[in-house]
């Protein structure tokens, strides 16, 4: 089994749609640390699980220096972001999203997303 891990820092803003009063309902930003885990028993024709550049292009290209409410079709919680990233990358089975020191979400795919 091969495992590929790509860690990136994404600067982005968002606001959350919440059913309770929270300062997070206001526009604010984070330097998110996003770690993507991909695995496969077999390598592709180039000898890779998935190209690191493809992971970076999908995550950084879509999210970096963006207002996440404008580019994602859902409430951009760390949980929803982690699940969405996992669904966008071939062979991805786990994504960690750290939005600030001490606040980390881990999403692990069950293959049904």
The whole-number pLDDT of residue 54 equals 95
Domain boundary assignment for the chain: 2-108
The whole-number pLDDT of residue 25 equals 95
Q: Characterize 19-46 residue by residue with b for buried, 16 or more Cβ atoms within 10 angstroms of its Cβ, and e for exposed.
A: eeeeeeeeeeebebbbbbbbebeeeeee
The whole-number pLDDT of residue 35 equals 98
Closest by CA to 36, choosing from 11, 53, 15, is 53
Q: What is the DSSP letter of 89?
A: S
Instruction: Indicate if the pLDDT at residue 112 is higher than 70.
Output: no
The whole-number pLDDT of residue 110 equals 80
Percent of the chain topping pLDDT 70 = 97
What is the band of 49 on the pLDDT scale with cuts at 50, 70, 90? Answer: very high
Its pTM surpasses 0.75:
yes
The answer to whether 38 touches 49, Cβ cutoff 8 Å, is yes
Mean pLDDT, the chain, whole residue set = 95
Residue range 2-108 in CATH 3.20.20.450: no
């Amino acid at each position: 089994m091969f495992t590929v891990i790509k860690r990136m820092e994404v600067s982005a803003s968002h606001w959350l749609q919440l059913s309770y009063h929270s300062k997070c309902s206001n526009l604010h930003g984070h330097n998110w640390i996003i770690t993507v885990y991909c695995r496969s028993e077999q390598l592709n024709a180039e000898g890779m699980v998935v190209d690191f550049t493809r992971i970076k292009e999908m995550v950084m290209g879509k999210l970096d220096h963006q207002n996440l409410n404008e580019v994602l079709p859902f409430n951009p919680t760390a949980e929803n972001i982690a699940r969405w990233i996992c669904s966008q990358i071939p062979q991805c089975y786990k994504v960690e999203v750290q939005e600030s020191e001490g606040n980390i979400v881990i999403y692990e795919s069950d293959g049904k997303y």
